[in-house]
Amino acid sequence: MKKMFFLLILLAAILGCTNRDKMTKDEISPMYYSLSGKVENGVRIIDVVAYKFGFNPDIIVVNAGDKVRLRLTSLDVTHGFKLEEIGINKRIEPGKENIVEFYANDVGTYEFRCSVFCGAGHMKMRGWLIVK
């Protein structure tokens, strides 16, 4: 029991120290991240889970030219997934799978955010799409 408690505290400390919610586009180096998801029939499929107050994964990596399918789900309340540069703004209802498809045409790093107010930590709920 003590070991489990210690591991939980250690995990919370590690996650709390990453401060990804404060990272800027310039602080993310694409070379440190491997490709996300799996490719099936020429489509890169990535499962994205929204929860208070984050996304998992919060960094999504694809190749330029990939056709990308995001399977969006929520663990708790209604969230949103907004990736402005690509023209995506999808509502994510709990218990439902929402599909978003797009082509990752332009190399770059793009921020995505929750677009539905979900509580006090809503403004910190964001992530990054890296197109290599």
pLDDT in tens, 109-132: 999 999 999 889 888 999 999 999
Q: Is 15 left (phi over 0), alpha (psi -120 to 50) or beta?
A: alpha
Fold of 29-131: Immunoglobulin-like (2.60.40)
Tokens matching residue 17: 């120290």
Tokens matching residue 34: 């491997």
Tokens matching residue 62: 């694809």
What are the structural domain ranges in the chain?
29-131
The per-residue pLDDT for range 72-108, each reduced to its tens digit, is 999 999 999 999 999 999 999 999 999 999 999 999 9
> What is the sign, positive or negative, of the torsion defined by CA atoms of 104, 106, 110, 113?
negative
The per-residue pLDDT for range 15-27, each reduced to its tens digit, is 444 445 556 766 6
Instruction: Please count the helices (runs of H) and the strands (runs of E) in the chain.
Output: 1, 10
